[in-house]
């Protein structure tokens, strides 16, 4: 008896079988509920009619209109980029949305199912025509051979490693260990990333444009097929914009010719470092910091990492059984978090930094080490920092204390009595500096090198900084101007780095009720979001002019 998988495998290789099955047996429905584009199917005809009607009054001069290729994978990003693409088309740009219709980034799908999924996605996204072109990269003849240069292949390998780390929340990945889950996932991710890269290159070669697009836009740009397409843009020297969403509603992060998740704030800081905050700006950042201290949401911020209410530092000190010896506070990130991957400076990765640090400080009974495990671990299933510490120190000495993700302790209470802070990339490092605590930053994070942290570039300098801070604590504390600098930087990071944008990916359809496409394209919408849309469409961001 032939099994179902075998039948699918055979049918998947026969022309038109999957597409006819989807049309007549599946009756045009999505293959899975997790990849339903019902909302787009309902909205695209409305948007298309709106934009065609408004086309003669586009606010962008003809000589400033760009040919833009937007790429997305996964249902939620396809939805978001489809809306963004229609908005940019409504402003007068020539937009093509390229997509891969896989419902899942970590599981293999049989070809028969992929083709059905592709037929469904194509039927929905074709509703944007002729305002916006849509092309499935599964329908594009990929380029092969020399077009995939050694530099691009190396970049795709790194993206695939990062995909595996991010998905499994691990840092050590051996692609040659063929029996491991990590190696199997790596092979799938490399296959998908190669497919995306080769198809985008093939589309550019055979699209009839005669030249590359003026701009490529892709979400994130660091992981999955979006990371692969970002690497294609960089190797092909095509301007590229990446974008992502943080914890603020109504705001977006974006980067031009850079990975947005690197949070490169260098230009922002150069344009604002010498300016004083106004009274209202001081009030804003103090109010935000107070809400974070007390485990409360503030204005448009939607993420609450601290669920334990603030107590006094002395109460927490007593609860942990701490005495008068100096306290070193190590604030960890979540293992495998995208803000830690590839951020090493002198360590192999964050795990290596954790292991060597706790082993070093385990020998120092003249101090107390508090390891604060990130509260975000409670929502994830990967390995815990606690496991890393316990593997490094099978017998944890009494002067080392672990504060776990679910422990009812507020991180900001720990900061109150810390004599030294150690961080990899967590924002807590910036907040320790704001509280006057000397903090040593071991990873590449946005606030490193901004003038208020200690920034070693080798293991030798790292341990020397620890020793100096413990031998003469007062001499290493940030000065008052440095503390003010940290507050100023925090203001600009939270309030200037993200820019106004109407549709957050996590609340897309609710946000669309408040800001329908017609309203965003109106004079009112352009006054609020027009500049961000121009930046997303490739207009260079002038941080100095933006600060005026």
3-state secondary structure 467-485: HHHHHCHHHHCCCHHHHHH
List the alpha helices (DSSP H) in 347-392.
350-362, 385-392
Rounded to the nearest 5 degrees, what angle is found at the Cα of 390, between the Cα atoms of 389 and 394?
A: 130
More confident site: 303 or 75: 75
User: What is the per-residue pLDDT for 293?
Assistant: 76
| Arithmetic mean of pLDDT, 339-359 | 94
Instruction: Say how far apart CA 404 and CA 174 lie, in whole Å.
Output: 29
More confident site: 305 or 345: 345
CB 320 within 8 A of CB 148: no
Phi first, then psi: give them for residue 210, nearest 5 degrees. 80, -5
| Arithmetic mean of pLDDT, 357-367 | 95
> Could you tell me if residue 404 is inside a domain?
yes
User: What is the per-residue pLDDT for 380?
Assistant: 72
Is residue 491 domain-shared with residue 509, that is, in the same domain?
Answer: no
Give the closest residue to 504 by CA, choosing from 260, 300, 297, 250.
250
User: DSSP secondary structure string, 398-443?
Assistant: TTEEEE-TTSS--HHHHHHH-SEEEESS-THHHHHHHTT--EEE-B
| Arithmetic mean of pLDDT, 210-214 | 76
Q: What is the mean pLDDT of the chain?
A: 88
Instruction: Say how far apart CA 547 and CA 529 lie, in whole Å.
Output: 17
Whether the per-residue pLDDT at 441 is higher than 90: the answer is yes
Whether the per-residue pLDDT at 283 is higher than 50: the answer is yes
User: Which of the listed residues 474, 495, 516 is the one where a domain comes to its end?
Assistant: 495
Instruction: Say how far apart CA 547 and CA 272 lie, in whole Å.
Output: 7
Is residue 256 domain-shared with residue 372, that is, in the same domain?
Answer: no
Angle between helices 150-168 and 224-235 (to 10 degrees): 160
Tens digits of residue pLDDT in 96-111: 999 999 988 888 888 8
> Could you tell me if residue 271 is inside a domain?
no
| Arithmetic mean of pLDDT, 371-385 | 82
Residue 440, beta-bridge partner list: 422, 454
Whether the per-residue pLDDT at 292 is higher than 60: the answer is yes
The total number of structural domains in the chain stands at 2
Whether the per-residue pLDDT at 383 is higher than 50: the answer is yes
User: What is the per-residue pLDDT for 148?
Assistant: 85
User: What is the per-residue pLDDT for 116?
Assistant: 86
| Residue range(s) defining the domain that contains residue 199 | 4-266+502-547
Tally the C-alpha atoms within 13 A of residue 397's C-alpha that lie toward its C-beta. 13
> Could you tell me if residue 189 is inside a domain?
yes
> Could you tell me if residue 482 is inside a domain?
yes
User: What is the per-residue pLDDT for 407?
Assistant: 83
Other residues' Cβ atoms within 10 Å of the Cβ of residue 234: 19
User: What is the per-residue pLDDT for 211?
Assistant: 62
CB 538 within 8 A of CB 255: no
Is residue 115 domain-shared with residue 248, that is, in the same domain?
Answer: yes
The distance of Cα 124 from the centroid of its chain, to the nearest Å, equals 27
User: Which of the listed residues 495, 516, 533 is the one where a domain comes to its end?
Assistant: 495
Band of residue 541 on the pLDDT scale cut at 50, 70, 90: very high
Is residue 116 domain-shared with residue 200, that is, in the same domain?
Answer: yes
Token pair, residue 74, equals 């996964």
| Arithmetic mean of pLDDT, 298-320 | 63
């Amino acid at each position: 008896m032939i099994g179902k998988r075998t039948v699918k495998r055979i049918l998947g290789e026969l022309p038109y079988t999957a597409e006819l099955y989807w049309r007549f047996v599946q009756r045009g429905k999505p293959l899975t509920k997790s990849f339903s584009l019902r909302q787009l199917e309902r909205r695209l005809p409305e948007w298309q009619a709106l934009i065609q009607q408004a086309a003669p009054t586009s606010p962008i001069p003809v000589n400033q209109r760009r040919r833009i290729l937007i790429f997305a994978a996964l249902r939620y990003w396809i939805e978001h980029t489809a809306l963004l693409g229609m908005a940019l088309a409504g402003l007068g740009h020539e937009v093509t949305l390229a997509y891969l219709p896989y419902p899942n980034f970590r599981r293999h799908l049989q070809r028969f199912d992929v083709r059905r999924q592709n037929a469904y996605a194509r039927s929905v996204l074709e509703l944007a025509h002729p305002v916006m072109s849509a092309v499935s990269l599964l329908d594009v003849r990929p380029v092969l051979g020399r077009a995939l240069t050694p530099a691009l292949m190396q970049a795709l390998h790194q993206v695939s490693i990062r995909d595996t780390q991010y998905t499994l929340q691990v840092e050590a990945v051996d692609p040659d260990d063929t029996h491991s889950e990590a190696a199997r996932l790596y092979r799938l991710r490399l296959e998908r990333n190669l497919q995306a890269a080769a198809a985008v290159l093939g589309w550019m070669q055979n699209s009839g444009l005669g030249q590359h697009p003026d701009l490529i836009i892709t979400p994130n740009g660091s992981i999955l097929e979006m990371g692969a397409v970002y690497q294609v843009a960089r190797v092909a020297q095509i301007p590229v914009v990446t974008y992502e969403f943080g914890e603020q509603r109504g705001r977006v992060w974006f980067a031009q010719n850079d990975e947005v998740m690197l949070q490169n704030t260098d230009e922002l800081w150069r344009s604002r470092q010498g300016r004083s905050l106004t009274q209202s700006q001081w009030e804003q950042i103090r109010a935000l910091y107070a809400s974070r201290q007390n485990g409360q949401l503030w204005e448009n911020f939607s993420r609450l990492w601290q669920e334990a209410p603030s107590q006094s530092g002395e109460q927490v000190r007593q609860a942990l059984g701490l005495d008068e010896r100096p306290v070193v506070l190590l604030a960890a990130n979540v293992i495998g978090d995208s803000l830690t991957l590839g951020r090493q400076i002198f360590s192999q990765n964050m795990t290596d930094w954790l292991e060597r640090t706790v082993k070093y400080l385990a020998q120092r009974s003249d101090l107390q080490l508090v390891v604060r495990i990130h509260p975000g671990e409670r929502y994830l299933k990967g390995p815990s920092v606690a496991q890393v510490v316990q593997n490094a120190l099978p017998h944890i000495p009494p002067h080392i204390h672990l504060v776990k993700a679910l422990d009812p302790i507020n991180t900001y209470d720990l900061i109150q009595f810390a004599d030294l802070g150690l961080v990899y990339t967590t924002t807590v490092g910036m907040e320790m500096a704001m509280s006057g605590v000397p903090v040593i930053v071991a990873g590449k994070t946005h606030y490193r090198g901004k003038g208020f942290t200690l920034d070693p570039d080798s293991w030798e300098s790292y341990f020397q900084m620890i020793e100096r801070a413990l031998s003469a604590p007062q001499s290493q504390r940030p000065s008052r101007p440095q503390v003010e600098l940290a507050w100023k930087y925090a203001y600009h990071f939270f309030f200037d780095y993200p820019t106004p944008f109407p549709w957050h990916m996590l609340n897309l359809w609710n946000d669309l009720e408040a800001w329908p496409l017609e309203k965003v394209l109106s004079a009112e919408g352009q006054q609020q979001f027009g500049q961000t849309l121009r930046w997303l469409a490739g207009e260079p961001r002038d941080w100095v002019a933006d600060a005026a």
